Structure 1
Amino acid sequence: MKFTLSWLKQHLETDATLDQITTALNSIGLEVEGVEDRGAALAPFRIAHVVEAAQHPNADRLRACKVDVGDGVIRSVVCGAPNARTGMKAVLGLPGAYVPGSGITLKVGEIRGVKSEGMMCSSRELGLGDDHEGIIDLPEDAPVGVPYASWAGLDDPVVEISITPNRGDALAIRGIARDLAAAGLGTLKPFAPAKVPGVYPSPLRWVVEDAESCPWVLGRAVRGVRNGPSPKWLQDRLVAIGQRPINALVDITNFFTYDLGRPLHVFDAKKVKGDLLFMRRGREGESYLALNGKEIAVTPEDLVIADREAVESLAGIMGGEHSGSDENTSEVFIECALFDPVRIALTGRRHDLRSDARARFERGIDPALLPDALEAATAMVIELCGGEASALTEGGAEPAWRREASLRFERIAGLGGAEVAPDDAVGILERLGFGVVARDAEKVTVSVPSWRNDIAGQGALTQAPGLPADKARAAAEGCAAIEPECDLLEEVLRIIGLDRIPPASLPVSSPVPLPALTPRQSRAVLARRTLAARGMLDCVSFGFLDRRVAALFGETPDALRLENPIAADLDQMRPTPVASLALAAARNIARGYPDLALSELGAAYRDITPEGQLAVAAGLRAGETPRHWAVPARAVDAMDAKGDALAVLGALGVPMAALTVTADAPGFYHPGRSGVVRQGPKTVLATFGEIHPKLREELGLPGPAVAFEVFLDNIPDPKKRRKAAPELAAFQPLRRDFAFLVDAAVPAENLVRAARGAERALITEVSLFDRYAGDKLPEGKVSLALEVTLQPRERSLTDAEIEAVAAKIVAAVAKATGATLRG
């Protein structure tokens, strides 16, 4: 929300400085986003009189000028503007002035042998527009020597504040002035527009078919208007806050949108078909050309304003080109309506239409302001465009907005933590527009003003539909009793200044702070650190991507398609974070970074239920391993991805001995070069493997690429066990090597598992340390060598006991895999 200081003072009688006003705004909860003071940047530039503009003696396109800035000194200025001429008034910057549009600081110089003691500026050089065809040409009556910013009205600071969703009244300059007056920075000026008499019947009448969406609407016509450019003061105000002047009638509606927070719309009465305007729902097949130049297809969920033939406006959001006012408009019809905030918000989102009117209607506007706003707008139309007004026409009726709320004085300190005297609290509420209904020593009951629809309203939250009736009733009664008092308390606290509320620490529940993260939340942190330690760069990407790309990595159900995507190619919730990492890798490779290691902790989406959103730690490697003096670089392979996945699982406490690997990886992996890590036959903990060659070609990944997924939600919670001292054996471990001849199709994992189970009391570790396949072995056979670690616990093992264990290992491996011990 933007406003100028002078515009604010049209509603607020105050001597406060700009700094005092901005400080107060921050203190009362209207946070200042920025202050633009164009006058400060243009202070060095003054109005100058060109006494003489002669041809430069040494340049065809330059003029040698003599310039007077009113200080009695005639200065030499070289100017290249084609419109520089004798007798004109221009804007001159003297040495030392900073030119905002050019980014230079002026100094005395010499151009082609002629001294130049300043610079006459164009609009673009002063940062006031794009015009740079010539220097600014001022009227003859412009006062020489006066600061240009002051003369042009550019010394009026523009303040921008952020507005919370509940403060629709602060989207009006008058609402901001009211808050500042309540905070003690001045007095709110009265607003009571005189009634404009109607001299003829209105040519249009309202028919409200949807009273729920539009409970009340007023309108009146003004005939004999002359619609042209609005006066300079109005254009200057609109331009200062970022609005584009269009014509007098449209500019008047924009003025009241900001001035009173009261959006209006004007129809060219002669373009409306028939004598009725209907407030109704849209119909299938209807559309209209909006003022932004786009054709809008309305739906039965939209509220529209229509004549007898077609839709003329999307109510509360944007008018139509057909009935808009232009230079030929001679009779205008002013619409002033009250709309349902939810209906406006949903319609705006549905059609992706943003307007100043929508921003105000969806927050809720003053339901009692309609008559006064229409009178003020009618008077301004007649003042600026001429003409005479018709009688008012009305549809619906003013809704019942009057309500009361009570505040117990002890709650100010008890709940708010600030000491405020009862008289001061009541005074604040009265200055904000609340009326005292009753008061005693303990509490005050006030009537809520019409513009504060956020106080003592219906409540901000909707009850859960499955709530039992008795609980729903009790909750509703509790909210009705608590929320209005809290609303009043908040008003008192913010007006005294949020910075005056003493800070208080939360109560300490225990001497030792409780964990801030649950075990499952801690997993994500530990997984991210583990992957970073393995050299992977942590990424944060969107949870949605192009539907075509998503289909390469899994199913793309319509239920997971975005109805209102932020971009056309971001319309589907992703089935796996690997898809996002693959796209990121392709972009980096295309820019000359072929060797990558990327990771992300994000969501994978299977369906719209909470269970269908999976927490996944994913990673992708592309290109080659890092160059090293001791180890040559090589292309990444599936084992790199497997190592990453197992590193995450190991860091999260998953027992490695309990894991198995199967070859049924998802289809975006290379078959035969991928796998699924399981704990038991059903629990899938991770997938890994090379990216399928066809998919790499589709995504623009030229070299090898491998990826993995670790499903964090599938990892069982660690069992809570009492920590004990580690059991350290008193005897040295011993190791024995076994080489088995086995079919090449048998997974090495089967041998490791069989050997480990041969004698669980003694065998503590089994690892594969060699694989050999060659012409010295029978066809279809490979040699797999295992190292088995035995750990005696009660006494040293004898040779006979060791041989017995070895025999058990050979027998167990032979039984499980058909392998034989190599001689």
Structure 2
Amino acid sequence: MKAPLSWLREYVRVDATAHEIARRLAVSSLEVDRVVDVGVADVADNLSYLRVGRVVEAVKHPNADKLQLCQVDVGEGEPRQIVCGAWNFGAGATVAVGLPGVLLPGFPGPLDERPLRGALSRGMILAEDEIGLGTDHDGITLLPDGIEPGTPLADVLPLREQVLEVTPTINRVDLLSMVGLAREVATLFDGELLPVEVEDPPIHHPEWVDVAVDDPDGCPRYIGRVIKGVAVGPSPMWLRARLHAAGMRSISNVVDVTNYVMHVFGSPLHAFDRARLDGGRIVVRRARAGEQLRTLDGALRTLDERDLLITDGVKPVALAAVMGGQESEVSAATTEILLEAANFEPIGILRTSERLALRTEGSNRWEKGVDPHLAEQAAVLASRLIVDLAGGELTGSVDIHAGLPEPPVVRLRPERAERVIGLAVARDEQRAILERLGFQVSDAWDVTVPTWRARDVTREIDVIEEVARVVLDRVPATMPLRRCVQGHLTREQRLRRVIEDVLVGAGFSEAYTWSLVASDPDPAALRLPDPMSGDQAILRTTLLEGLVDAARVNLDAGNTAIALFELARVYLPSGERLPDERWRVGGIAEGGFAAARSAVEALYDALHLDLRVRRTARPFLHPGKAGETDAGWLGELHPTLLDGSWGVFELDVATLIAPIPERILYDDVITFPPLRQDLAVVVADDVEAAALVDAVLAAGAPELREARVFDVYTGDQAGAGRKSVAIHLSLQAPDRTLSDDEAAVVRARILSALAERFGAELRGERGPERKPNRRRSRSPG
């Protein structure tokens, strides 16, 4: 949600800056993504170049059919000549003018005087998108008549705005409203919460509003109001600018009012063209199997019995709480509207929204559970604004419900609150915090929960949390005093910390990604029966998806040398009701296969494990650059998944650490020098180097202490379909220095075993050497 600060300040009086508000909200209430400065840049005296102007004369440009040549009074005594391409105004219009030198949003540099088709233009008559108040560029911005020419434009229009971009948690739907945010800010800063005071339009010519609710469980409250004689047209600039800053597109005065009120109270509304409703009536019911509705986005949607519909008794006119239908859409020809201010059951709305893959600002609120008590306040404010902005008369209103839910009452023990919070919070302060948040506290500490929090504050601990989050700033930035030590880390916990330390030391940064995802490569992955959103509907079976997304975000932000790892759980299908939870470590880094290999090698070396990599094929890995170990896989990410060359790996932690003994036993250091030899064998191209090494170690025991591949050659000398693998051997005995004859016997056993198992042929060999061979190969073999 985007919350313009000027709008927020209409409901709370507080001295705090935008960044101070953002910091306190982020600590206590919700996630604040950022604070954005929008509109015209307020640098130097830039705003002084923007003024109100009155068009003295407007004629066709003598050299261009699509341009007007205007004389505009901007309070300088003599009018300025300005060339303009818009035709939605004429002489006498009050307009917004930018003088030479102004820097406008989206313009590469300051505005200057320049000739246009032979006529000097000494400024610009501005459209709303040129001053950051909207997206419209079809015509210039027309201001109300009567404003004195030369008046600073900043005194008339909100040219500068600071916007808080916030994301409330699932249970705090009240914070998806300006009033809800204002209440939080007033509590955190001990400010004054300003009420929304509005007078309901009178009903002089009452008429019956025909509304029937056939499914009261799905629609526990429905307020319907009829307003006749409206004139649908553009909204005033203040409303268009406010919705634009809040991230919404202006449509018309009537529709804009419904969106405006939704942002004020968090209770969505909808307006129907009543003339297009059969009999002017509303019937709320479940859809019939196969019933269809063309929604406002133009899509024809097929419904089933689970979907809640708004109908006119004959045909569907809206998908309840999600999106209206085209057949009842308010248009420029509308003169009579039926305003809906209702309340809907959240789970059913969530399921419909998910099944139809249709998310809207309204459904986002309804699926979290909107307070039914808000519907009346929203209806009154919307009625008042429609009558004021579109004219007309309120002629009828109906409110259908079977009784509104009573707010819950919870007993609070102030002394327990202090113990749980861990801070001294006086009783009077606890009471004051709760009352500022809208709770009522009796002398006996019976706490009446406000209706907008009735869904998530139901227990004493919930009430304590309300006090705790307001005083979080007092928590000292020190570790708590520890007087004794109880318990210790398990073996797996200790080794998980080693894994984290190794990867950090290898240049990786730790990432935290969602356990719940939108999709998963395993078709058997567990899907939540009632997910809160489509983006978090499935329990992940791999860390890869989240790491790729995290790398993409960093890449889009312009970051370089990206290397991320995550040590977290995955949830594997078990065939039972609950999944098999496994700890996995995964990573992604720029640099292709080599980056993944080096990270995995570092892990195995630190854990004193032998790394054996076998060829494999995975759909998400680059063909020919994929390997697996007993614990997992590694390779180069398939290039279609992310731009660039990326190394990725994922290992099962329990499998990885299983070979590590509880106690490590060391062999005595052998004082006799090793005898080192190299041999090269030619084998079929599909023979894995790791398999060769395993066979060499088995055949060369006990004298063979080490065997490793240092070169792999494919070419004419190896033969078609074959390759040469060079292996370094280190032979050593604990009681003597091995002779060349003894080494020859071991080598013969090795060659015999390789020939029998792999059909290997000796390509070449190097004689014995008493000095260490320091050549190394990074080839994956």
Fold conserved (TM > 0.5)? yes
SS in 2 for 1:336: strand
Shift of 1:314: 1.4
Change (3 A) 1:337 1:518: farther
Matches within 5 A, 1:255-404: 255-273=260-278, 277-382=282-387, 384-390=390-396, 392-394=398-400, 396-404=401-409
Partner of 2:191: 185
Aligned equivalents of 2:580 and 2:207: distance in 1? 63
Give the total of aligned pairs: 719
Aligned equivalents of 1:786 and 1:156: distance in 2? 71
Aligned equivalents of 1:236 and 1:774: distance in 2? 70
Q: Which amino acid aligns with 1:503?
A: A
SS in 2 for 1:296: strand
Q: Deviations over 1:330-375 (max 9, x none)?
A: 4433322221223223322332333332232223322223344434
Matches within 5 A, 1:585-734: 608=573, 647=601, 651=605, 653=607, 656=610, 712=652, 714-720=655-661, 722=663, 727-734=668-675
SS in 2 for 1:169: helix
More off after superposition, 412-421 vs 339-348: 412-421
Partner of 2:168: 164
Cα RMSD (Å) of the superposition?
Answer: 6.3
Q: Which amino acid aligns with 2:446?
A: T
Query: Are the counterparts in 1 of residues 72 and 82 from structure 2 also a CA contact under 8 Å?
Result: no
Long gaps (5+) in structure 1: 458-479, 551-555, 589-596, 623-635
SS in 2 for 1:390: strand
1:445 aligns with 2:428: no
Partner of 2:463: 484
SS in 2 for 1:451: helix
Shift of 1:143: 0.9
Shift of 1:288: 0.9
Query: Are the counterparts in 2 of residues 527 and 651 from structure 1 also a CA contact under 8 Å?
Result: no
Aligned equivalents of 1:217 and 1:57: distance in 2? 60
Change (3 A) 1:330 1:192: closer
Change (3 A) 1:573 1:501: closer
Partner of 2:776: none
Partner of 2:457: 456
Aligned equivalents of 1:425 and 1:642: distance in 2? 53
Match of 1:505 among 479, 501, 506: 479
Partner of 1:471: none
Aligned equivalents of 2:685 and 2:167: distance in 1? 70
Shift of 1:147: 0.8
Match of 2:213 among 207, 215, 231: 207
Aligned equivalents of 1:217 and 1:174: distance in 2? 22
Aligned equivalents of 2:569 and 2:486: distance in 1? 39
Query: Are the counterparts in 1 of residues 51 and 97 from structure 2 also a CA contact under 8 Å?
Result: yes
Query: Are the counterparts in 2 of residues 35 and 160 from structure 1 also a CA contact under 8 Å?
Result: no
Query: Are the counterparts in 2 of residues 365 and 451 from structure 1 also a CA contact under 8 Å?
Result: yes
Change (3 A) 1:670 1:251: closer
SS in 1 for 2:421: coil
Q: Which amino acid aligns with 1:287?
A: Q
1:409 aligns with 2:414: yes
Change (3 A) 1:776 1:58: closer
Q: Deviations over 1:650-690 (max 9, x none)?
A: 5365665x9697x897899999x999877xxxx5876999x
Shift of 1:116: 8.4
Query: Are the counterparts in 1 of residues 563 and 588 from structure 2 also a CA contact under 8 Å?
Result: yes
Q: In terms of Rg, which structure is larger?
A: 1
SS in 1 for 2:370: coil
Match of 1:119 among 117, 123, 129: 123
Shift of 1:100: 3.7
Query: Are the counterparts in 2 of residues 202 and 221 from structure 1 also a CA contact under 8 Å?
Result: no
Change (3 A) 1:427 1:655: closer
Query: Are the counterparts in 1 of residues 697 and 706 from structure 2 also a CA contact under 8 Å?
Result: yes
Matches within 5 A, 1:97-108: 97-105=102-110
Match of 1:23 among 20, 23, 31: 20
1:519 aligns with 2:495: yes
Long gaps (5+) in structure 2: 556-560, 766-781
Q: Which amino acid aligns with 1:162?
A: V
Query: Are the counterparts in 2 of residues 282 and 303 from structure 1 also a CA contact under 8 Å?
Result: yes
Query: Are the counterparts in 2 of residues 545 and 573 from structure 1 also a CA contact under 8 Å?
Result: yes
Query: Are the counterparts in 2 of residues 545 and 574 from structure 1 also a CA contact under 8 Å?
Result: no
1:791 aligns with 2:770: no
Query: Are the counterparts in 2 of residues 539 and 599 from structure 1 also a CA contact under 8 Å?
Result: no
Q: Which amino acid aligns with 1:320?
A: G
Matches within 5 A, 1:533-544: none
Match of 1:33 among 29, 32, 35: 35
Shift of 1:63: 11
Query: Are the counterparts in 2 of residues 577 and 600 from structure 1 also a CA contact under 8 Å?
Result: no
Change (3 A) 1:98 1:727: same
Q: Deviations over 1:252-279 (max 9, x none)?
A: 3223212332222223333333576443
More off after superposition, 54-63 vs 235-244: 54-63
Shift of 1:8: 4.7
Shift of 1:436: 2.8
Aligned equivalents of 2:252 and 2:285: distance in 1? 29
SS in 1 for 2:441: strand
Aligned equivalents of 1:543 and 1:482: distance in 2? 26
Partner of 2:774: none
Shift of 1:305: 1.8
Query: Are the counterparts in 2 of residues 645 and 710 from structure 1 also a CA contact under 8 Å?
Result: no
Aligned equivalents of 1:546 and 1:422: distance in 2? 45
Shift of 1:289: 1.3
Q: TM-score, normalised by structure 2?
A: 0.69
Query: Are the counterparts in 1 of residues 198 and 380 from structure 2 also a CA contact under 8 Å?
Result: no
Query: Are the counterparts in 2 of residues 196 and 378 from structure 1 also a CA contact under 8 Å?
Result: no
SS in 1 for 2:327: coil
Query: Are the counterparts in 2 of residues 91 and 136 from structure 1 also a CA contact under 8 Å?
Result: yes
Query: Are the counterparts in 1 of residues 41 and 104 from structure 2 also a CA contact under 8 Å?
Result: no
Q: Deviations over 1:439-475 (max 9, x none)?
A: 3xxxx22211222235523xxxxxxxxxxxxxxxxxx
Shift of 1:542: 12
Matches within 5 A, 1:76-95: 79-81=82-84, 91-93=96-98
Aligned equivalents of 2:102 and 2:258: distance in 1? 39
Aligned equivalents of 1:382 and 1:237: distance in 2? 19
1:145 aligns with 2:121: no
Change (3 A) 1:711 1:54: closer
Aligned equivalents of 1:805 and 1:369: distance in 2? 89
Shift of 1:153: 3.0
Change (3 A) 1:192 1:485: farther
Q: Which amino acid aligns with 1:34?
A: V
Change (3 A) 1:62 1:507: same
Query: Are the counterparts in 2 of residues 224 and 388 from structure 1 also a CA contact under 8 Å?
Result: no
Q: Which amino acid aligns with 2:36?
A: G
Aligned equivalents of 1:573 and 1:212: distance in 2? 34
Aligned equivalents of 1:772 and 1:89: distance in 2? 81
Match of 1:253 among 254, 258, 271: 258
Partner of 1:469: none
Matches within 5 A, 1:559-578: 559=524
Shift of 1:317: 1.7
Shift of 1:313: 1.3
SS in 1 for 2:443: strand
Shift of 1:711: 5.1
1:42 aligns with 2:37: no
